Amino acid sequence: MTSSLRGRLFVGLTAVILLAGCISGAFSYLWAFDEAIEMQDSVLIQVGSLLQSGSVKSDQTLRGVDADAEVDVVELGTAPRGRTEEGQLWSLQDGLHVASFTDRSMRVLLRTRLDGSRFAVLQPTDVRDDIAGNMALRTLLPITALIPCLLLVTALVIARSLRPMVRLAGDLDSRRVDDMTPLPLAATPSELQPFIASINGLLQRMKLLMDQQRRFVADAAHELRTPITALGLQAENLDSVDLPESARERVAALKEGMARTKHLLEQLLALARHEAAPSGDAVVVPLDRIVKDVVADVLPETARKGIDLGFELIEPIATAGEPVMIATMVRNLIDNAVRFTPPGGRVDIGVLREGSEAVLQIEDTGPGVAPDDIDRIFEPFFRGSRPTEDGTGLGLSIVKRIVDRLGGSVVLENISGPALTGLRAIVRLPAANSCSASIRTHATG
Ligand SMILES: Nc1ncnc2c1ncn2[C@@H]1O[C@H](COP(=O)(O)OP(=O)(O)OP(=O)(O)O)[C@@H](O)[C@H]1O
Ligand SMILES: [Mg+2]
């Protein structure tokens, strides 16, 4: 048996419809057959009465009786004729009988006129059965036409009745993984409501669990930041201490490790803060200003690496969001471009308006991302199949979540050409009207 509810309902109802159709068809066939036989008997009786009253002669064509019906009249005379077939008919009493005549089974009506002469009206039983069978078959026509219509209506009704369930599944499927808003109970069939209530309960418990987890990550990252900063300071202090060269090397490695741990904590905190931030505190943010501020922050690093970082195009454009988050998103993308571009390379930045969108484009001349990695690049902790630089693998997942939350999109594509490699990151955000008086504008730095 099929495991689909729709399939089961359809198979079950089809079986019921077919069974009902067969039973009613069989009964109506039998009834119609009997009726047709009785009707033919009454025709024989009528013919008999006409002949008996003398209004029709037996050698006349019987008017109103179909030639196909093969109704025949045999005059038997006034006295029996021995052992002939007529004689055998004579031996029957007046009325209806079934008898053999000319080697055929016949329905026979015997009548005696007032003058004592007798006659028989005959009709072959096989002809009668054929006629009755045909008539009875015709009564099956409406039923056989009705069955496909009923099956079609059943399929439509089932599909319509199950539509709320299909819609519900579609709603759940198209949700973002972290979307825990309850499913609407209104306008759903009452049978589905306990089911929806259970799903909503589950969603609520999952949301609680996720909130707890996020809070734990945020708290842990926050709590760890202070001791790590203190440890970093202690390591810095060692610079002023007179140490042998081998110890200095270890201290340098220690400081690097501290910086990496601090970076991981910062990224975890950014992720946790973003997840925990209530939506709805958006303000108009000048994207171009934020990008300029981030670029100013990374200039020392680009100068050290000998990377040519510049603006290809920068238009004043604003988007709506939380300024710290937008800055985190921009910083992560520019940081990647600078970090993965080898010394002597280029990073070109563009901020522009395209229709109703604010577009941020960052192109670098680094190695790009392996094609197999592109699909997984936004997963947390994914650092590519050939990680070269230090990193947490959290940067792009933070970028993706922030952009999704702002109702935008982010795409990474490899730049390839003759003797040219690199990565192009394109972020599209809904542009905001910076003149809007109701929203406070903000610039970082
Ligand atoms: N501009 C780029 N060029 C080449 N590879 C990149 C670039 N940006 C990202 N990647 C690849 O994608 C991986 C994931 O990037 P992501 O920003 O998420 O993490 P990360 O940079 O390793 O760590 P973090 O951002 O926390 O410092 C990187 O490890 C790197 O392999
Ligand atoms: Mg990164």
Count of domains in the chain? Answer: 3
Q: How far is the CA of 397 from the centre of ligand 2 (A)?
A: 9
Task: Report the distance separating Cα 29 and Cα 135, nearest Å.
Answer: 9
Q: Are residues 242 and 342 in the same domain?
A: no
Q: How far is the CA of 292 from the centre of ligand 2 (A)?
A: 19
Instruction: List all residues 6 or more positions away from 403 whose beta carbon is below 8 Å from its beta carbon.
Output: 329, 409, 410, 427, 429
Answer whether 286's CB lies under 8 Å from 317's CB: yes
Q: Is residue 159 part of a domain?
A: no
pLDDT of residue 202: 94
Atom 19 in ligand 1: residue holding the nearest Cα = 393
Q: Name the residue of 383, 399, 424, 426 to mutate for ligand 1: max ligand atoms within 8 A of Cβ.
A: 383
Instruction: Give the residue carrying structure tokens 């987890």.
Output: 213
Secondary structure (3-state) at 397? helix
Q: Are residues 289 and 251 in the same domain?
A: no
pLDDT of residue 4: 81
Q: Is residue 175 part of a domain?
A: no
Q: How far is the CA of 395 from the centre of ligand 1 (A)?
A: 7
Which DSSP symbol is given to 281?
A: -
Overall size of the chain counted in residues: 445
Q: Are residues 261 and 286 in the same domain?
A: no
Q: How far is the CA of 276 from the centre of ligand 1 (A)?
A: 24
Which ligand has its closest atom nearest to the C-alpha of 425? 1
pLDDT of residue 104: 92
DSSP string, 228-292: HHHHHHHHHHGGGS---HHHHHHHHHHHHHHHHHHHHHHHHHHHHHHHHSPTT--EEEEHHHHHH
Query: Exposure of 254 by Cβ count < 10 A (0-12 exposed, 13-18 middle, 19+ buried)?
Result: middle
Q: How far is the CA of 108 from the centre of ligand 1 (A)?
A: 104
Residue type at 353?
R
| Number of other residues whose CB lies within 10 A of the CB of residue 118 | 20
Q: Are residues 252 and 295 in the same domain?
A: no
pLDDT of residue 150: 94
Q: Ligand 1: residues whose CB is within 6 Å?
A: 267, 332, 336-337, 340, 364, 366-369, 377, 383-384, 387, 391-397, 423
In this structure, are strands 308-314 and 118-124 parallel, antiparallel, or unpaired?
A: unpaired
- Domain termination site, one of 148, 177, 205: 148
Query: Exposure of 440 by Cβ count < 10 A (0-12 exposed, 13-18 middle, 19+ buried)?
Result: exposed
Q: Are residues 331 and 411 in the same domain?
A: yes
Task: Report the distance separating Cα 44 and Cα 53, nearest Å.
Answer: 14
Q: Are residues 60 and 203 in the same domain?
A: no
- Domain termination site, one of 268, 299, 334: 268
Q: How far is the CA of 333 from the centre of ligand 2 (A)?
A: 7
Q: Are residues 141 and 240 in the same domain?
A: no
Q: Is residue 224 part of a domain?
A: yes
Residue numbers of the domain that contains 117: 5-148
Task: Report the distance separating Cα 322 and Cα 287, nearest Å.
Answer: 11
Atom in ligand 1 nearest the alpha carbon of residue 390: 22
Q: Structure tokens of 162?
A: 């199950």
Atom in ligand 1 nearest the alpha carbon of residue 332: 25
Atom 7 in ligand 1: residue holding the nearest Cα = 336
Q: Which residues of the chain have pLDDT under 70?
A: 1-2, 58-65, 276-281, 387, 389, 434-445
pLDDT of residue 281: 65
Q: Name the residue of 271, 396, 397 to mutate for ligand 1: max ligand atoms within 8 A of Cβ.
A: 396
Q: Are residues 216 and 321 in the same domain?
A: no
Q: Is residue 165 part of a domain?
A: no
CATH, residue 213:
1.10.287
Q: Are residues 12 and 144 in the same domain?
A: yes
Q: Which of 179, 28, 56, 51 is nearest to 110 (CA)?
A: 51
pLDDT of residue 112: 93
The alpha carbon dihedral of 90, 95, 100, 102 has a sign of positive
Q: Are residues 409 and 287 in the same domain?
A: yes
- Domain termination site, one of 95, 116, 148: 148
